[in-house]
Amino acid sequence: MLTTQPIRGHNELRETEGPVSEHTARMEHPPGSVVLQDAVAGYGTRKVLDRITCSYAPGQFVMVTGASGAGKTTFMRLLYGVVRLRSGEGFVDGIDLRRLWPWQVSGLRRRLGFVFQSYELLPHLTALENVRLPLELAQWSIESPEDVAHHALRRVGLADLADRRPDHLSGGQQQRVAIARAIAHQPRILLADEPTGNLDTIATWQVLDLLAELSEDGMTVLLATHDATALQHFDGEVLRL
Amino acid sequence: MSSASSPAFARKVGRQLNAVRRHALSLLAYSWHWQRPHLISWAGSVIVVGSLMALAASVQLTVTLVGGAVEREMQSASQIQVFLADEAKPEDVSALTAQLKAMQGVKGVQYRSKAEAAKLASQDSQLAPLSNGAQSNPYPATLVVDVQDPAVGGRVAEAAQKSAAADRQVPVSYTPEDARKLSRILDVLRFGALALDLGVALVATMAALRLFRSEARARRQELRILALVGVRPTVLRAPLLFQALSVALAASALTLLALWWLGTTLPKGLSYALPFLTLSHPLIAARDIGLVTVVGSCVLLGSSALLVRVPK
């Protein structure tokens, strides 16, 4: 599944986003793909990921699982540019992680979507403002951040709750706002680190269904989870760490 | 080809300009959103920084005015006037002229009549009023002595005091020793003003840094989240820079007010305390100091905003 769906609306932006764009032309690592080869990463002297190899095509839905401390979060943070690649190779959305300088990290993040376990919403902003503010501050080329934010909230089924602040939303609703924020700029890849970790069963399935829909629309989704039930009902690719 | 590509290029440039304008407005709105809840601490910083800057600028203005006047006095040390008594005999004047010309270090001596002195005085704003209402010409005839070295001034004064031709009460226009004393005082004042400027710059920077750091601490979670969703560190700094510039401009406004007030009142005070000094126009000096204050404070506080760490 290649990235030619209508959901891709910012190719022009990507082509002009600076030093990282040269790598997008690499056909062996097409936009929307995630490729690691013998990747090593960790914190300080501690190796958390040791020679990880995996390759996911654009539009694939992948669950990343493993015991506590196995490195699920580190894996996600490596792909998101929070943790540096120590050795091996890594390509995310066509970007070579080995050549990612610290000042280019925010450029990588603007191309991806990330959903956190703890939602990471700004408490003093409404749901709409939480989605709109990153668009205004990070995505210059979007002409009407307000409309795009509304569209993203509709996409996650929260159009009616756009004016509520996070403390007036349930955990599942907050996570859907976080997903709306992550997908508003229509990234090719969505990374979700334990997005259902704080949710009840119904909210968990709502979030998982939503992520599956996004994958069906052509978005590559990597979901880190230790939820056994979710894994049992999942028939796609699983990366065990 | 070119006619087809030109409109496309213009559209592209127009889109880019629109994007920049939109982004600038978003940054301004976001910066205001940041600052709005902390207006009291902002006002406190403006008062502290503004008071310090006003103090430093006022001292600087005083030193600049007095310094300029003293420098002019120092330059005029190469020309000393011996005031002649109205009843001086021509032979005494000639004798004194010859005596002065014979002195080592004296380049020349020129006689200036009362009429010539009155004519020159009429062109001097400080001297001209002296003749208003006077029955006769109040300006004395003088011997204008050109000297190579101000140190000769002492001997010129001594010769004038002994001569019957010179005015008994005010024999010479100027004693070089006075100039040297003033010069030393001026050096001390300049050093003091410079030290005060540096001190103010340091204290103002510390006060501003304290404000910016507390703002960044209060917004730590927000900055971290925005960094995580891809907002550039430069954009995250924008509210701090906005705050720095707004503090600098508001504090500069206080300083300019102080300079304006001082510029209008200082000449009167100085004329009373140091009547022999001819001050240059105080508002021109105040304008120059004000300009340096505005630019300097913006650069200094803007730089200190860049020192605050934001998440990457």
Q: Is the Cβ of A134 closer than 8 Å to some Cβ of chain B?
A: yes
Number of structural domains in chain B: 2
Same domain, B65 and B190: yes
Yes or no, beta carbons of B228 and A116 under 8 Å apart: yes
| Residue that is last in its domain, among B166, B187, B218 | B166
Q: Which of A112, A120, A141 sits opposite B225 (nearest CB)?
A: A120
Same domain, B197 and B292: yes
Q: Which domains does chain A have, with CATH numbers?
A: 11-240 (3.40.50.300)
Q: Copy the structure tokens of residue A19.
A: 């030093």
Q: Is the Cβ of A187 closer than 8 Å to some Cβ of chain B?
A: no
Q: Is the Cβ of B23 closer than 8 Å to some Cβ of chain A?
A: yes
Q: Is the Cβ of B218 closer than 8 Å to some Cβ of chain A?
A: no
Chain A residue numbers with beta carbons less than 8 Å from the beta carbon of B23 are 136, 140
Same domain, B278 and B159: no
Same domain, B156 and B277: no
Same domain, B96 and B239: no
Same domain, B283 and B196: yes
**Contact by Cβ (8 Å): B197, B270:** no
Same domain, B200 and B255: yes
Q: Which of A102, A133, A134 sits opposite B312 (nearest CB)?
A: A102
- Give the helix ranges, DSSP H, for B36-89: 39-75
pLDDT above 90 coverage of chain A, percent: 47
Same domain, B111 and B248: no
Q: Is the Cβ of A118 closer than 8 Å to some Cβ of chain B?
A: no
Output phi, psi for B5, to 5 deg. Answer: -80, -25
Same domain, B127 and B273: no
* Cα distances (Å, whole numbers) of residue B43 to B40, B51, B56: 5, 12, 20
Closest listed residue to residue B61, CA positions, set B292, B273, B263, B277: B263
Counting runs of H as helices and runs of E as strands, what totals does chain A give?
A: 8, 9
**Contact by Cβ (8 Å): A205, A237:** no
- Residue A27 pLDDT greater than 60, yes or no: no
- Residue A18 pLDDT greater than 60, yes or no: no
In a domain, B79, yes or no: no
Give all strands of the β-sheet with B106-112 in edge-to-edge order. Answer: B79-83, B142-147, B106-112
What residue of A is the nearest CA neighbor of B222? A122
Closest listed residue to residue A187, CA positions, set A231, A234, A222, A137: A222
Chain A residue numbers with beta carbons less than 8 Å from the beta carbon of B312 are 102, 105-106
| Residue that is last in its domain, among B139, B166, B193 | B166
Closest listed residue to residue B306, CA positions, set B234, B246, B252: B234
Alpha-carbon distance of A219 to A204, in angstroms, equals 20
Domain that includes residue B146, residue range: 85-166
Which pLDDT does position A70 carry in this prediction?
86
Q: Which of A112, A137, A143 sits opposite B235 (nearest CB)?
A: A137
Which pLDDT does position B276 carry in this prediction?
61
What residue of A is the nearest CA neighbor of B18? A143
**Contact by Cβ (8 Å): A237, A61:** yes
Yes or no, beta carbons of B312 and A105 under 8 Å apart: yes
What residue of A is the nearest CA neighbor of B15? A141
Q: What is the pLDDT of residues A129-156, one digit of tens each?
A: 999 999 998 887 788 899 999 999 998 9
Q: Is A44 left (phi over 0), alpha (psi -120 to 50) or beta?
A: left
Give all strands of the β-sheet with A112-115 in edge-to-edge order. Answer: A112-115, A189-193, A220-224, A61-65, A237-240
Mean pLDDT of A157-164: 92
Provide the ipTM: 0.80
Chain B residue numbers with beta carbons less than 8 Å from the beta carbon of A122 are 221-222, 225
Yes or no, beta carbons of A136 and B226 under 8 Å apart: no
Same domain, B302 and B189: yes
Q: How far is A203 from chain B (nearest CA, A)?
A: 23
Yes or no, beta carbons of A106 and B230 under 8 Å apart: yes
Looking at per-residue pLDDT, the higher value among A189 and B206 belongs to A189
**Contact by Cβ (8 Å): B211, B45:** yes
Alpha-carbon distance of A104 to A98, in angstroms, equals 12
Yes or no, beta carbons of B231 and A106 under 8 Å apart: yes
Q: pLDDT band at A24, cuts 50/70/90? A: very low
Closest listed residue to residue A112, CA positions, set A93, A91, A90: A93
| Residue that is last in its domain, among B101, B131, B166 | B166
Q: Is the Cβ of B27 closer than 8 Å to some Cβ of chain A?
A: yes
Q: Which of A108, A112, A137 sits opposite B231 (nearest CB)?
A: A137
Alpha-carbon distance of A22 to B202, in angstroms, equals 45
In a domain, B22, yes or no: no
Q: How far is B310 from chain A (nearest CA, A)?
A: 13
- Which residue, chain included where needed, has tokens 């001297």? B127
Q: What is the pLDDT of residues A198-217, one digit of tens each?
A: 788 888 888 888 899 999 98
Which pLDDT does position A133 carry in this prediction?
92
Q: Please give the span between the terminal C-alpha atoms of chain A, in angstroms, as a whole number.
A: 26
Q: How far is B47 from chain A (nearest CA, A)?
A: 29
In a domain, B195, yes or no: yes
Alpha-carbon distance of B193 to A88, in angstroms, equals 61
* Cα distances (Å, whole numbers) of residue B145 to B156, B168, B179, B226: 8, 18, 17, 77
> Cα B179 to chain center, whole Å?
21
Closest listed residue to residue A236, CA positions, set A203, A211, A200, A201: A211
In a domain, B186, yes or no: yes
Q: How far is A104 from chain B (nearest CA, A)?
A: 9
Q: What is the pLDDT of residues A52-105, one digit of tens each?
A: 999 999 999 999 998 888 899 999 999 998 899 999 999 999 899 998 888 889
Which pLDDT does position B177 carry in this prediction?
65
Output phi, psi for B155, to 5 deg. Answer: -70, -35
Same domain, B247 and B140: no
Alpha-carbon distance of B80 to B150, in angstroms, equals 9
**Contact by Cβ (8 Å): A49, A101:** no
In a domain, B62, yes or no: yes
In a domain, B26, yes or no: no
List strand residue ranges (DSSP E) for A57-165, in order: 61-65, 87-92, 95-96, 112-115
Yes or no, beta carbons of B230 and A107 under 8 Å apart: yes
Which of A106, A121, A124 should we substitute to test contact with B (largest number of B Cβ atoms within 10 Å)?
A: A106
Q: At what angle do helices B176-218 and B39-75 cross, to 10 degrees?
A: 160
Looking at per-residue pLDDT, the higher value among B219 and A8 belongs to B219
Helix (H) or strand (E) holding A130: helix A127-138
Which pLDDT does position B4 carry in this prediction?
52
Which pLDDT does position B210 carry in this prediction?
84
Q: Is the Cβ of B231 closer than 8 Å to some Cβ of chain A?
A: yes
Tens digit of each residue's pLDDT, chain B (312 residues)? 455 568 888 888 888 888 888 888 888 888 888 788 878 888 988 998 899 889 888 888 888 887 777 766 666 667 788 889 888 899 999 999 999 999 988 888 999 998 888 888 777 766 666 666 667 788 889 998 887 766 677 788 888 888 888 887 777 776 656 666 766 777 888 888 888 888 888 888 888 888 888 888 888 888 899 998 889 888 888 888 888 899 999 999 999 999 888 888 877 777 776 666 667 777 788 888 889 989 999 998 888 888 888 777
What residue of B is the nearest CA neighbor of A132? B26
Same domain, B65 and B160: no
- Which residue, chain included where needed, has tokens 């140091």? B274
Yes or no, beta carbons of B312 and A106 under 8 Å apart: yes
DSSP state of A163: T
Q: pLDDT band at A19, cuts 50/70/90? A: very low
Cβ pairs A/B, distance under 8 A: 59
Q: How far is B181 from chain A (nearest CA, A)?
A: 59
In a domain, B272, yes or no: yes
Yes or no, beta carbons of A134 and B230 under 8 Å apart: yes
- Which residue, chain included where needed, has tokens 């103010």? B200
Interacting residues of A28 by C-beta distance below 8 A, sequence separation 6+: none
Yes or no, beta carbons of A109 and B228 under 8 Å apart: yes
- Residue A17 pLDDT greater than 80, yes or no: no
Q: Which of B18, B19, B30 sits opposite A137 (nearest CB)?
A: B30
Looking at per-residue pLDDT, the higher value among B70 and A240 belongs to A240
In a domain, B17, yes or no: no
